[in-house]
Chain A
Amino acid sequence: MDFELSEDQETIREAVRELAANFDDQYWMEKDQAHEFPAEFYRAFADAGWLGITTPEEYGGHGFGITEASLLLEEVAASGAGMNGASSMHLSIFGMHPVIVHGSEELKRENLPRIVSGDLHVCFGVTEPGAGLDTTRITTFARRDGEDYVVSGRKVWISKALESEKILLLTRTTKFEDAPKKTAGLTLFLADLDRDHVDIRPIAKMGRNAVSSNELFIDDLRVPAAHRVGEEGMGFTYLLDGLNPERMLVAAEALGIGRAALRRAVRYGNEREVFGRPIGMNQGLQFPLADSLARLDAAELVLRKATWLYDHGKPCAREANTAKYLCADAGFQAADRALQVHGGMGYAEEYHVARYFREARLTRIAPLSQEMVLNYLGEHVLRLPRSY
């Protein structure tokens, strides 16, 4: 057993930390308050080549694994960029996995290098108002029309759609009721987000406001068959490959926010004096922070194990789900405690922990709720009957 990061991994971590440090908490607070995409930050990471960390080398990337990608996003979040920073690039980093594995050579040549360079923004279009995590129940329909498909339907909670040129879009090409089985008849496209046929409306929300979350109204969007990813009807299967990596990356982001929050809490606990001594001397404050350190460290170990398993081609669903569950709880709890340590100042934007708190909360819901993780573990690991 070896708990050491490789030399490459250490280098990645250091380099990301250094680059992210150019964008301080003030930057993120302003972007968040202005609901403005962090273009300068995104550009800096694209220029340094980070968006292509997992993209194969023949398409301009570095061909690293999920371990390296998770270290990247963890460090981004831990810099204070939080989910605003991570979400600005999250999908560029691993969202294209189905295209890389199942897309045509032409589709890859056309898109992957542009994603790596930062020129092409993409978003992920799966969830719908009538089908949250019950993915096979989506109704957005792609009708074949000659060499094209014509797509109509609604999507919701589509991160970054406002800023994106393309969308990895899950549709039904066979209606649920006509499909031989419920997971059949779904088809994936890498489609242009043609604003004449897609109305994109940002959702007012609690936090992570530098990156939009949107509702999409798709009306007769014409998509060339060449933009289909893989075979018709196989879209659901293609998505499955990406679920565990996505959970691991969000786990890494949650872990990063937890680290950022804990760092601020410790600093404030040492600096702030009440009753003639630093408030960090109070066991009522010190113990919860120490407890959070222990929980973050434990969650990190599960995450490292999960990404290691994935990168070694081993089954990792149990560990990926557990990592997302533990990192999200540990990260949110650390943010909550950091806020508490700051007292009234924690509620003020200028200390930034309120922003961490709002963003950390997101990781207990996305990409799937903690409860769905427990469903997975209960059903597929413990072999208990399906509970829902």
Chain B
Amino acid sequence: MDWNLSPEQDAYQEALHDWLSDVAPQDTVRRWLDAGDAAAFEKLFADGGWAGVGLPEELGGQGGGLVELALTAEELARAAAPSAGWLATVLAVPALALAGHRDIAELTLAGETAAYLVPAESVPDEAPRLSVDEAGAISGSVPRVLAGGTAARFVVPTVPAGTRESMPSRTAEGAPRAAVDGRELRLVEAGVPEITRTSRKLLDRSRSVADVSLDRAPSRRLELADPAEVLRQAAARAAVLVAADSLGASGRMLDLAVAYSKQRRQFGVPIGSFQAVKHAAAMILVGVEAARSAVYFAATSVDAGDPEALLHAAAVKAQVTAEGSRTAESALTLHGAIGYTWEYDLQLFYKRARLDEKLLGTPAQWNERIGDGLPLV
């Protein structure tokens, strides 16, 4: 197998990297994060045309698939840029596009956020569903929705009122439950008075969540042939993109740790000359390189509809984000107490990598899914 990014993909990553270095240098990003202001960056991002990447050209996007989105996630993480809105949107857009909501896709291009109404810590297709009545009104509460405080609209996994809402959309064997039981994806506008939102603070300020309550909020059914499959694909994409985010944060932490170990001197020598420090940095590099290979393989696999794509996605979410957490710990150790300070940038990436481990499903949950897909008892 010979697999590389195409020249176009390389060029895209480089262009995005340069653009981020230009418009989102670290002190600027810190200002946004300290102020809890993701909107400033989101506007720059949309104005720069980046929001169209990964959106089909027939909907006015720039095309490209999950590999391009993973490159985006990696670079956004490297910059510690606010990205909850972007991630939520790219996960929700396929449902809107497949249902023919061209108008909404255009709003998305303009920088409006769409988000699945599921808890940020859940695997999206395992999250509890809200109940919808016969008139299409949805009621219920969902805690900690990614970009829930700023989203313009939500894609809501629903069940008809009276159905047990906590039932997951997959059977114990991992097969989708039949669509005939009324499980749907529905669209609600976030600005209606029937919806209340309460922002919650995360330790990682580069992402945001909010509790969202709906009290008979009006909704439209998304006309989808197989909504369960659409949601399952969203879960797979979520796994790949969060892993890519972890990869970006890890790469940045490695750069910071190596630079610091060359600059910081103890006992008359740079601490990077100590084997224990060198080996720890080398281990991070091993993790980063393994993550890069796995993430882009999984992205390709999911895009191509490989029969084992969902397992590939689960594997990177479980493995890469767990390794990202270990990288964060190791990078902090290499920095000593300076890494623990607010002033030093490491904390931004440390928190980012730690959240990536839990975001949209823990390694244990994703490993469970791999277990379900293997011929085990």
Contacts and interface: CB of A to CB of B under 8 A. Distances in A.
Q: How large is the interface on B (under 10, 10 to 19, 20 to 34, 35 or more residues)?
A: under 10
B330 to A, nearest CB: 14
A13 to B, nearest CB: 35
Nearest to A282: B275
A287 B277 CA distance: 12
Nearest to A284: B275
A387 interface: no
B274 interface: yes
Classify the secondary structure of A's interface with B.
helix
A283 interface: yes
B284 to A, nearest CB: 16
Contacts of A287: 276
A280 to B, nearest CB: 12
Contacts of B275: 282-284
A81 B234 CA distance: 60
Nearest to B277: A283
Classify the secondary structure of B's interface with A.
helix
B279 interface: yes
A110 B275 CA distance: 63
Contacts of A283: 274-276, 279
A219 to B, nearest CB: 36
A284 B275 CA distance: 6
Contacts of B274: 283
B255 to A, nearest CB: 23
Contacts of B276: 283-284, 287
Contacts of A282: 275
A284 B273 CA distance: 12
Interface in A279-319: 282-284, 287
B167 to A, nearest CB: 24
Nearest to A285: B275
B276 to A, nearest CB: 4
A285 to B, nearest CB: 9
Interface in A215-258: none
A282 B277 CA distance: 12
Interface string B277-320: 00100000000000000000000000000000000000000000
B266 to A, nearest CB: 13
A287 B274 CA distance: 12
B350 to A, nearest CB: 24
Contacts of A284: 275-276, 279
B19 to A, nearest CB: 41
A283 B276 CA distance: 6
A283 B267 CA distance: 15
Nearest to B275: A283
A127 B274 CA distance: 51
Contacts of B279: 283-284
A284 B279 CA distance: 8
A194 to B, nearest CB: 42
Interface string B197-234: 00000000000000000000000000000000000000
A283 B278 CA distance: 10
A100 B79 CA distance: 72
Nearest to B279: A284
Interface string A165-191: 000000000000000000000000000
A50 to B, nearest CB: 43
Interface string A261-290: 000000000000000000000111001000
Given A283-B276, A283-B279, A284-B275, 6 more contacts: A282-B275, A283-B274, A283-B275, A284-B276, A284-B279, A287-B276
Interface of A: 282-284, 287
9 contacts: A282-B275, A283-B274, A283-B275, A283-B276, A283-B279, A284-B275, A284-B276, A284-B279, A287-B276
Nearest 3 A/B pairs, CB to CB: A283-B275, A283-B276, A284-B275
